[in-house]
A and B are shown apart, each in its own frame.
Chain A
Amino acid sequence: MEATISVRGLRKRFGPVLALDGMTFTVQPGRVTGFVGPNGAGKSTTMRVILGLNAADEGQALVGGQAYASLRYPLRWVGSLLDAGALQPSRSARNHLLWLAHSQGLGARRVDEVLTAAGLSAVARRHAGGFSLGMRQRLGIAAALLGDPPVLMMDEPFNGMDPEGIVWMRGFLRSLAGQGRGVLVSSHLMSELQDTADHLVVAGRGRVIADASVRDLIAAASGDRVTLRTSAEPTAAMVLERAGATVAAPGPGVLTVTGLTAERVVGALGAAAVPFSEVAAHRVSLEEAYMELTRDAVEFRAAAASGSAAS
């Protein structure tokens, strides 16, 4: 059985709000898939539909090729952490995990294993109600690991974590993917996923805006612009335009070239013996690429908000 989550054409309406509008993507094993998008993009709703908590109006979400509700022991297929605060405060951390383990036909030994893995052994018998947010996140992760699932799904796991915790979480997510598991992590801040995610699903207004590897995404956002420094601006411009590029001069001694890769720019200038001091391929940051992609969705939300405020 391929350990994946597959989401196909999910639509979901909450009264007047279209929360999901054809959401479609796949979580592949062995890598961290970042699920990003502004607040209200439909990330949490999608995750709830995957877990069978919310019913989609259209479309389907499958886990390992099956509907979540048909899984006998679902936590052995997907471990999830949606809300670290979903606890009975007066129940101890260990007992919280114990009832979950029993629901999956698992015993107390597995509970002690995941408590150790999450670094909670020392506080296992304390009431979960007294835990800090970071400790609750660790408890939620321990719960997600209970069934040793091939797929893990976490909604905003970095929320409320201190910088040290964020570093730990990144390493932890990487190690899970390294074991061959598929990991889906949502965030509304792209910076949290930088250096963590291999693959990104960017959501906005209930649908997928981009679904690509981190490298492809940056390349696409950067375009194939090349910045050129030269003292022979008119000659250089003429040579490059003849090679098929579009050239602009944003400042003295600087040309911006579109339509040619950096290698071909260097080749064309060399062949014509035009002097130049620097050729640089332009690269945007992941953050910039994300802002570019989601601008529409954010603007839409702002407009909708002011529109409803006016009415």
Chain B
Amino acid sequence: MTAGTAIVAAQESERPGRGGFGSLLHAEWTKFRTVRGWLIGLLVAVLVTAGLLLSGGDSCGGPGNSGCTLPLGPGGEAVNDSFYFVRQPLAGNGSITVQVTSLTGETPSGSVSGRVRARSGPGTGQSMRSGLEPWSKAGIIVAASTAPGAAYAAMMVTGTHGVRMQYDYTGDTAGLPGAVSALSPRWLRLTRSGDMITGYDSANGSVWVKVGTARLGGLPSTVQAGLFAASPAYSQVVSQSLGGSSATGGPTLATGTFDQVGLAGRWTGGRWTGADIGGPDAMYPQDPGTFRQAAGTVSVTGSGDIAPDVPGSGGGGGISISQGLVGTFVGLIALVVVASMYMTAEYRRGLIRVTLAASPRRGQVLLAKAAVIAAAGFVTGLVAAPLSLAVGERSAHAGGAFIDPVAALTLARLVLGTAALFAAVAVFALGAGALMRRGAAAVTVTILLVVAPFIIGTVLSAGGTQWPLRVLPAAGFAVQGAYPRYPQVTASYSTVSGYYPLPPWAGFAVLCGWAAVVLGLATWVLRRRDA
């Protein structure tokens, strides 16, 4: 046999200064795509990511209830807008001032400590006892309308959080601290000037302190203003797992007692009318709210909340869009196997010597491999995430559940973040493979550091230890965080519902740090080690 071409050909086509890393990338890509098992592994990763679904844990309707929905606030987020409103229409600029002398309430038996009163809860038949939720609230409110989700600003006393000014569901500013009572009453005031609503509070009715100002865009000239009371549903998470959280709880009531209701400016007093806003619904079959007027005193009783809806809070409402992505950890296991094998297969039969003889720059070999597996992981995530979200949405609608909406940017971050998560985990697994040279060991270590903390953090730590999701590579799951936390809403804020201890990019930075360290160590070892 003869090798046809002349010997000098090799040196002629040597192109100095070009082609080194590009050729290496090309070679590693060819290496990756020519093992069918690895491509199938990536397909499996996509399918299991989209395939693992949760039953909608808490939904606002039953199966088949396709009309189930929540109102959206001015910011586009899903909100609870359910309270008792004693109101009258008021035109132009003006202010409303009130003295609050007490805030009392009733919660389901077994919730907070208090004297049990054998009484039936509002519309439920559950036995109630006196007690307040931390965020039970009563006070004065100026709203654009009585429609659910309308813009508003309010001054209120709360169960345990003192005086607050809240507006447009997400805004929350602290005023005077401490609980309200007949001996320690609170004066509240809201002043309208155009689109601006300013809140003041006072402990004695003469010295006033400004709490905050809210700009309610497009506020009509005639607003609905008056007194309100609301009390969010009591809920306690009993157990939490990948299948969602199960909670016990029920509706609660709050009663605020007001003295010296005063209107000023161009607002002149008319007749007060009371109504439940936002009810009745599945939780409140009958309107629970009332108001009584006697000798200059008004007492208002209401249930519900004026606040953003937090998925997974257990009191009805929407579910998290993140539930569609819960299969990510299973998909990652498949990806980790592929990424580790891509490296350890080199060591299985000594192929690494062929690779390093062809490309003696060992650091570049590892870098090219990392680039290839990162790209493969990214594309896998980029396909898996939208598919999973679509499947999750279908399943939620079929089950009559409502998914709390997220902004378009958040949705894009969920998809790109998941793709980046896949890419970074793949690089970590590759580095572990290069360090340990054995597929089983690399897969085990990667799963223990990346996937296991997520499962543990989700199943075992209902509000407990979350440090593994802060410091271990599993922190990268934070890219799937979907909703902001609201201090003014009591909820479990679980990982299943899309709440992580770190902000998305901080968590991703932790994962990338780990991946970089492992890849750096692997490069160092590969350079020093005889092949």
Contacts and interface: CB of A to CB of B under 8 A. Distances in A.
Interface of A: 1, 3, 48, 51-55, 68-77, 80, 82-83, 85-92, 95, 98-100, 102-105, 113-114, 117-119, 143, 145, 147-150, 171-172, 175-176, 179-181
B13 to A, nearest CB: 7
A70 B359 CA distance: 10
B65 to A, nearest CB: 51
B238 interface: no
B10 A52 contact: no
A76 B13 contact: yes
Interface stretch (B14-22, B258-266, B302-310): B14-22
Classify the interface of chain A: helix, strand, loop or mixed.
loop
B6 to A, nearest CB: 8
B3 A179 contact: yes
B210 interface: no
A298 to B, nearest CB: 26
B35 A103 contact: no
Interface stretch (B24-32, B106-114, B279-287, B489-497): B24-32
A251 B24 CA distance: 71
Given A82-B353, A117-B3, 19 more contacts: A48-B530, A53-B357, A54-B530, A55-B530, A68-B360, A72-B15, A74-B357, A74-B359, A95-B30, A103-B24, A103-B26, A105-B19, A149-B7, A150-B7, A172-B1, A175-B2, A176-B3, A179-B3, A179-B7
B356 A105 contact: no
Nearest to B10: A76
Contacts of A99: 27-28, 30-31, 34
B372 to A, nearest CB: 11
B353 A86 contact: yes
B354 interface: yes
21 contacts: A52-B356, A53-B357, A68-B360, A73-B23, A75-B358, A76-B14, A85-B350, A87-B349, A88-B349, A98-B30, A99-B30, A100-B354, A103-B26, A117-B3, A117-B4, A143-B354, A147-B10, A149-B7, A149-B10, A171-B1, A175-B2
B419 to A, nearest CB: 26
Most A C-beta atoms less than 10 A away, residue of B10, B16, B359: B10
A72 B19 contact: yes
Contacts of A88: 31, 35, 345, 349, 351
Contacts of A69: 360-361
A104 B354 contact: no
B525 to A, nearest CB: 14
A117 B5 CA distance: 11
Contacts of B26: 102-103
A92 B31 CA distance: 11
A52 B359 CA distance: 10
Nearest to B24: A103
Contact of A103 (B10, B36, B358): B358
